[in-house]
């Protein structure tokens, strides 16, 4: 069984925190020699869960349970609609921000490739194609689902890597799907090196899009508070209030008429065809500094710091336009 060195480096047991070594793999299980916990390996992908601290279980993956996150199980009709119709929303800044992030990493005088952990990386995120295909960066793509790019599965409440293992962590459209975003960000902070970078994108004015796995939203101030142990390098809205309105239009129609899966599919098709143009009004609403009060989501690029940002500065952060 082949697990690349980039995945293996710094990996530890999510239960007892001891180092996991390649020689501890027996058939299709990774056995921790200290606590005795066995972790299944499915199609070369280790499933590193601390079940006592997770809403997921080993059975979810061993039995190939149909989780929301497993996009490979998306219905054929909805997949077709997604391909042939315009998107209602979208990320206007993903590519620009990740290229900026790559430049920050490569400007550092390092004797090695910067190591980046992508949390929620079973597929390529919006605007991240160039970043994930860069030969100048070592990338570890993780998720809580199988996907074309998943290399390791874990729950981000307990990241199975040693302290200070990564130069950067990317968490794009993930923190709304975790039980405790604060705990997940604490784990991100822990595995980052002293001068580590974080890049996050998190929704604000968006409807539920993960069924039972959708928990939280963040305002501009709330998002900054979440990353209080990071100095801000760059932040802003991923999309504005026009995009929020476009999503609301679709969900209003779904609430009125979407009683069956077939009806929901038809409504989504109709909503996309008739309402996709609304999102382009973001170019007008963004002129108004108050647009962030209704933004679809926010991004944050930050540098790890030793002390929390004082709460008074969180207030100043909102007032700064």
What is the token pair recorded at 279?
Answer: 């999102």
* pLDDT tens digits, one per residue of 206-221: 999 888 999 999 999 9
- Indicate whether 78 and 204 sit together in one domain: yes
* pLDDT tens digits, one per residue of 186-209: 999 999 999 999 999 999 999 998
* DSSP run (H or E) holding 96: helix 94-106
Give the range of the structural domain holding residue 200, as residue numbers without chain letter: 74-319
Read off the pLDDT of each residue in 261-278 and give the average, rounded to a whole number.
93
* pLDDT tens digits, one per residue of 69-97: 554 445 566 666 667 778 887 777 889 99
What is the token pair recorded at 134?
Answer: 């860069």
Beta bridge partners of 170: 118, 199
pLDDT at position 65, please? 72
- Indicate whether 165 and 259 sit together in one domain: yes
- Indicate whether 242 and 165 sit together in one domain: yes
pLDDT at position 88, please? 80
Query: How far is Cα 171 from Cα 140, in angstroms, rounded to an integer?
Result: 12
Q: What is the CATH number of the domain that holds 10?
A: 2.20.25
Q: Is residue 67 part of a domain?
A: no
pLDDT at position 76, please? 63
- Indicate whether 104 and 52 sit together in one domain: no
What is the token pair recorded at 248?
Answer: 């609301």
Instruction: Tell me how far the alpha carbon of residue 274 is from its chain's centroid.
Output: 29
Read off the pLDDT of each residue in 259-279 and give the average, rounded to a whole number.
93
* pLDDT tens digits, one per residue of 13-56: 999 999 998 878 888 899 999 999 999 999 889 999 999 999 99
pLDDT at position 6, please? 79
- Indicate whether 151 and 284 sit together in one domain: yes
Other beta carbons less than 10 A from residue 92's beta carbon: 22
Judged against a pLDDT cut of 90, whether residue 105 lies above it is answered with yes
Are the beta carbons of 204 and 219 closer than 8 angstroms?
yes
- Indicate whether 162 and 303 sit together in one domain: yes
125: left (phi over 0), alpha (psi -120 to 50) or beta: beta
Question: Whole-prediction pTM value?
Answer: 0.93
Read off the pLDDT of each residue in 2-8 and give the average, rounded to a whole number.
78
Q: Is 196 helix (H, G, I), strand (E, B) or coil?
A: strand
CA dist 169 → 23, 80, 199, 210 (Å): 28, 32, 6, 22
Read off the pLDDT of each residue in 52-70 and give the average, rounded to a whole number.
82
pLDDT level of residue 319 (50, 70, 90 thresholds): confident
Final residue of a structural domain among 62, 92, 110: 62
Average pLDDT, the chain: 91
User: DSSP per residue over 49-84, as a string?
Assistant: --GGG-S--HHHHHTT---TT-GGG--HHHHHHHHH
Pick from 116-130, 155-169, 217-231: least confident:
116-130
- Indicate whether 49 and 105 sit together in one domain: no
Contacts of residue 23, Cβ cutoff 8 Å, sequence gap at least 6: none
Q: Is residue 29 part of a domain?
A: yes
Query: How far is Cα 318 from Cα 290, in angstroms, rounded to an integer?
Result: 10
Which of 181, 300, 286, 289 is CA-nearest to residue 244?
286
Q: Is residue 68 part of a domain?
A: no
Residue 25 or residue 282, greater confidence:
282
Number of separate domains in the chain: 2
- Indicate whether 36 and 178 sit together in one domain: no
């Amino acid at each position: 069984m082949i697990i690349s060195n980039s995945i293996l480096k710094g990996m530890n047991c999510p239960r007892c925190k001891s180092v996991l070594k390649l020689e501890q793999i027996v058939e299709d299980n990774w056995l921790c020699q200290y606590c005795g916990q066995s972790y299944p390996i499915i199609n070369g992908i280790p499933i590193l869960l601390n079940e006592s601290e997770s809403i997921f279980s080993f059975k979810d993956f061993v039995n190939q349970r149909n989780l929301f996150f497993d996009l490979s199980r998306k219905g054929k009709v909805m997949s077709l609609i997604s391909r042939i119709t315009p998107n209602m929303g979208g990320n206007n800044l993903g590519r620009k921000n990740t290229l900026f992030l790559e430049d920050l990493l490569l400007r550092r005088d390092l004797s090695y490739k910067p190591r980046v952990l992508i949390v929620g990386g079973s597929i390529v995120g919006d605007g991240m194609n160039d970043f994930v295909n860069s030969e100048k960066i070592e990338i570890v793509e993780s998720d809580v689902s199988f996907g074309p790019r998943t290399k390791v599965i874990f729950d981000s409440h307990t990241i199975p890597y040693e302290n200070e293992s990564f130069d950067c962590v990317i968490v794009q459209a993930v923190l709304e799907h975790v039980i405790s975003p604060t705990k997940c960000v604490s784990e991100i902070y822990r595995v980052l090196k002293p001068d580590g970078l974080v890049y996050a994108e998190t929704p604000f004015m968006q409807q539920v899009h993960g069924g039972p796995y959708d928990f939280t939203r963040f305002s501009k101030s709330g998002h900054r508070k979440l990353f209080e142990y990071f100095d801000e390098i760059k932040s802003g809205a991923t999309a504005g209030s026009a995009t929020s309105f476009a999503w609301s239009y679709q969900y209003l129609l779904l609430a009125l008429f979407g009683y069956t899966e077939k009806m929901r599919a038809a409504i989504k098709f109709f909503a996309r065809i008739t309402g996709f143009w609304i999102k382009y009004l973001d170019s007008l609403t963004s002129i108004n500094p108050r647009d962030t009060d209704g933004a679809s989501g926010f991004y944050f690029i930050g540098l790890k710091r030793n002390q929390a940002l004082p709460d008074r500065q969180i207030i100043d952060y909102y007032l700064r336009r």
